């Protein structure tokens, strides 16, 4: 990205590419800002309807991470009717449309290209008050870090592709991936927090690092407090890791200090490349219990784990302790 030409500056763009945030935010007027994001990927489960739901939940999550709510979405599709029946595409789109409707938004159209490898995702537009925008650059020293979904999805979906995952494990993973971050976003806006990002392809540590860098703070994470789907350890012991997870850990080599005794397997789990993960919320210490209460009061929140702190030491770096 650093090799791309310098983009024109527009003062109405209050969140752009500079801080590697979850979405762009453009001020429309004093009362409203537009959030824009997109994401798409190849299938990670066999059922096309479920794949559509997961892809939609994943794309919508960026809007929630910025503190907003989605209004419209455009389908992005790669599909070849020469490779798969059109009924498969219909099911993918139905899954996406149902999840977008659950979010209170609507499908406004889309675009399809002929592609032998199926791909699906969405470009999502959302709204937020300019003074209520949440970014990954607002974390403050003394904040507590709260995570709203467990880790392990990348490892488990790799196990699914290898035919290793049981039906129960698949069902649990699908529930995590298809759960919208809507309720978590509503809770954090209700309480008032300093920063947020969603945990996706760069893993917990990758996105935490982006928050530390953008906020110019240090972040300390407690490994034993991080929620992890139970089946993750079973597959990790079998060396079932996606390539993205290994790449994440390699990238973070000079950015994260691990306490003695934290194994490479545990480091990889903390770096796991996730699809449709939870929100990582940086909240003032005096409001953390209020946030936990607000999260627990809502049905669509899977975990409410306090997993770390924002510190003045080691700015723009992470430390992982037991």
Q: Is 216 annotated as a binding residue?
A: no
Q: Is 73 annotated as a binding residue?
A: no
Sorting pLDDT into bands at 50, 70 and 90, what band is 6? confident
Structural domains in the chain, CATH included, are: 13-131 (3.30.1330.10), 135-321 (3.90.650.10)
pTM here is 0.96
Report whether pLDDT(267) > 70: yes
Q: Residues 50-99: pLDDT tens digits?
A: 999 999 999 999 999 999 999 999 999 999 999 999 999 999 999 999 99
Q: Which tokens go with 171?
A: 């069902």
- In the predicted model, what is the mean pLDDT of the chain? 97
Report whether pLDDT(3) > 70: no
Q: Is 39 annotated as a binding residue?
A: yes
Q: What are phi and psi of 258, to 5 degrees?
A: -100, 135
Sheet holding 305-311, edge to edge: 195-198, 279-283, 144-147, 305-311, 218-222, 318-321, 256-258
Q: Residues 79-91: pLDDT tens digits?
A: 999 999 999 999 9
Q: Is 21 annotated as a binding residue?
A: yes
Predicted pLDDT at 9: 82
Q: Is 111 annotated as a binding residue?
A: yes
Q: Is 110 annotated as a binding residue?
A: yes
Predicted pLDDT at 36: 98
CA nearest to 144, candidates 305, 22, 293: 305
Predicted pLDDT at 177: 98
Sorting pLDDT into bands at 50, 70 and 90, what band is 137? very high
Mean pLDDT of 110-132: 97
Q: Is 22 annotated as a binding residue?
A: yes
Q: How far apart are CA 39 and CA 201, in angstroms?
A: 11
Q: Is 198 annotated as a binding residue?
A: yes
**Orientation of helix 243-251 relative to helix 153-161, angle to 10°:** 150
Q: Is 309 annotated as a binding residue?
A: no
Q: Is 112 annotated as a binding residue?
A: yes
Q: How far apart are CA 219 and CA 240, in angstroms?
A: 28
């Amino acid at each position: 990205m650093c090799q791309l030409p310098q983009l024109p500056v527009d003062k109405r763009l209050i969140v752009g590419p500079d801080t590697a945030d979850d979405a762009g935010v453009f001020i429309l007027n004093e009362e409203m800002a537009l959030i824009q994001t997109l994401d798409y990927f190849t299938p990670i489960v066999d059922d096309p309807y479920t794949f559509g739901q997961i892809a939609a939940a994943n794309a919508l999550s960026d809007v929630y991470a910025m503190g907003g709510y989605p209004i419209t979405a455009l389908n992005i599709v790669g599909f070849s009717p020469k490779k798969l029946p059109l009924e498969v595409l219909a099911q993918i789109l139905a899954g996406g449309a149902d999840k977008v409707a659950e979010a209170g938004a609507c499908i406004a159209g889309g675009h399809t290209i002929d592609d032998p490898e199926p791909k699906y995702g969405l470009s999502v537009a959302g709204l937020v008050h300019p003074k209520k925008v949440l970014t990954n650059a607002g974390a403050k020293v003394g904040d507590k870090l709260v995570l709203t979904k467990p880790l392990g999805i990348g490892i488990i979906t790799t196990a699914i592709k290898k035919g290793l995952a049981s039906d129960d494990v698949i069902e649990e993973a699908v529930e995590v991936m298809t759960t919208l971050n809507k309720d978590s976003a509503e809770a954090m806006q209700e309480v008032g927090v300093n920063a947020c990002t969603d945990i996706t392809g760069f893993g917990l540590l990758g996105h935490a690092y982006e928050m530390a860098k953008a906020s110019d703070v240090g972040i300390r994470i407690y490994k034993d407090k991080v929620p992890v789907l139970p089946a993750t350890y079973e597959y990790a012991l079998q060396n079932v890791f996606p390539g993205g997870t290994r790449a994440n850990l390699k990238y973070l080599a000079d950015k994260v200090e691990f306490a003695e005794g934290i194994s490479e397997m545990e480091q990889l789990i903390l770096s796991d490349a996730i699809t449709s993960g939870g929100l990582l919320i940086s909240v003032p210490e005096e409001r953390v219990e209020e946030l936990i209460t607000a999260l627990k009061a809502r049905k669509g929140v899977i975990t409410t784990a306090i997993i770390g702190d924002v510190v003045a030491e080691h700015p723009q770096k992470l430390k992982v302790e037991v």
